[in-house]
Structure formats: structure tokens, C-alpha cells
Amino acid sequence: MVIDKQDVREHVWRLLERERASRFPGARGRIPNFVGAERAAALVAEQPEWDAARAVKANPDAPELPVRAQALADGKRVYLAVPRLRTVRPFLLLDPARLRVKPRAAASISGASRYGRAISIEEMEHIDLIVCGSVAVNRRGARVGKGGGYSDLEFALLLEVGLVDDRTVITTTVHDLQVVDEELPETAHDFRVDLIVTPTRVLRAKRVRRPRGIIWSDLDTAKIAEIPALSARAAAAGPRPADGATRPLRRRA
């Protein structure tokens, strides 16, 4: 039985708090900062996909801080989205070759804002590995985030310009209690993960689907207007499709 996304979130948040598996500031209302995040990050770094990656896009949430720090320590360039993609240059680049502070200091939210370089999508490179946070994930790679929808939108934007593709590996780090057996509700814009990494294990999901790009019918004019990268792409692509389909992808040459 497929259940409601918010019901899934509430269940996992309660479970983590009851089992004392979440850290400050608590699990509820966010991507939970879980006990064992450092061990999960170490397991990610043991995977062959990690060794092959040179450019990593990571979420800015607390449980993925150890992954971001490890990426910088290993010489990988790390990209983080500006909150809500609200600026003309909606990503921050942390380049370990240019940093003069320790990786963990640069990888924090405040550190990324201070030491990262704001860049446009056009300035980015191909992303080899995406690290995303999740509230819940099942063994088939379906995930539930905190409900803002920005991870899906970031993925769709990068997909449309060819910066992510079928070569890009998507991983999430979670506590074991966040891995659920149930089918999770999915929409056309939801992406699945390839690797699920907990403090104790690595699960590999069979890839069955990925979104094709931005689904304009899911976005109202206010949402498009408040995100400069969306506004620019909408203007360049012409009228919105009437049937809710994605526009044809216009990839980089």
C-alpha cells in the first residue's frame, strides 16, 4: 500500500526521536541529523563511484556535512545550491585547490557561504555524483524529502542543461531507521537514488526511472518568477507546454 508522504515523514521523525537516533536540533521538520552520519560518510567514500567522481553536488543539510568534508579532503569539487535557488548565481562552488581552511570548516553551511564562490549554472561542470538528504527511502531507491521540492527542481535544472545524465550517480545517507519497506508515493518529478548508505550498510537500488526535465505544469508563475534560473530558462524556451509535458531538452554542445 502506498501511503501519504507527510505520513511517512511524521512516522520517521517520531521513530528517530523515540529511539534517540537524531541529533540537535531534532528530527522533525527537516532532513534529520542522524546518529552515525560520520560512519555513513566513511562508507560512501569506500564505494567505487566515489573514487570515480571529480565533481559532487551535495545538499547543505547537517547529516551530509561529513560527506561534503570528505569530498573536499579527497580533492573533489563540491557544488551546493543557494537556498531556494533565489539568486542569479544559484550554486556555490567549493574548490579544494583554492581553499585555505580545513575541509570541515568549508563544508559547513556558514563555511560554504563564506568560502564558496557563487556561480551560474552555465559555469558548472558535469556532475559525477549527487549526494542528497532524505527523510525516508526504500530499498528500491524511492525517497521522501522534507517537502520543499527543491532537490527535485535542482536535479531537473541540471538535467536540462546536460550537467547530470545517466552517468551521474545519486546517493543518500540516512540512519537505518529511515530505510522503510513500504512503497513510497512518487510523482513524475521525483528522482530515485542509486545508493542508500547508512552507518551499517550500503544498499544498491536498481535504476528504473529518472525524470526527463522540468515539468512546467507543476510550477506556477509565482514559483518561476522567484527563481531566476527558472525564469531565464522559461523565457528562452518559449511558451509553456499546454499538456504539462517537459520541453525538449536543449543540452550543451
Nearest to 245 by CA among 189, 196, 197: 189
Write down the pLDDT at residue 181: 94
Reported as type and span, the H/E element at residue 91 is strand 91-94
What pLDDT, in 10s, does the model give residues 16-33? 999 999 999 889 999 999
What pLDDT, in 10s, does the model give residues 145-188? 998 878 999 999 999 999 999 999 999 999 999 999 999 999 98
Whether residue 25 has a cis bond before it, omega within 30° of 0: yes
Write down the pLDDT at residue 65: 98
Residue 130 to residue 239: CA distance in whole angstroms: 31
Write down the pLDDT at residue 248: 42
Radius of gyration of the chain (CA): 18
Confidence class for position 2, pLDDT limits 50, 70, 90: low
Residue bearing cell 531507491: 141
What pLDDT, in 10s, does the model give residues 94-127? 999 999 999 999 999 999 999 999 999 999 999 9
User: Which has the minimum average pLDDT: 57-61, 143-147, 247-251?
Assistant: 247-251
Write down the pLDDT at residue 166: 94
CATH superfamily for domain 5-204: NagB/RpiA/CoA transferase-like (3.40.50.10420)
% of the chain with per-residue pLDDT over 90: 78
What pLDDT, in 10s, does the model give residues 215-224? 898 898 988 9
Residue 44 to residue 28: CA distance in whole angstroms: 25
Res 253 pLDDT > 70: no
Write down the pLDDT at residue 238: 64
Write down the pLDDT at residue 243: 41
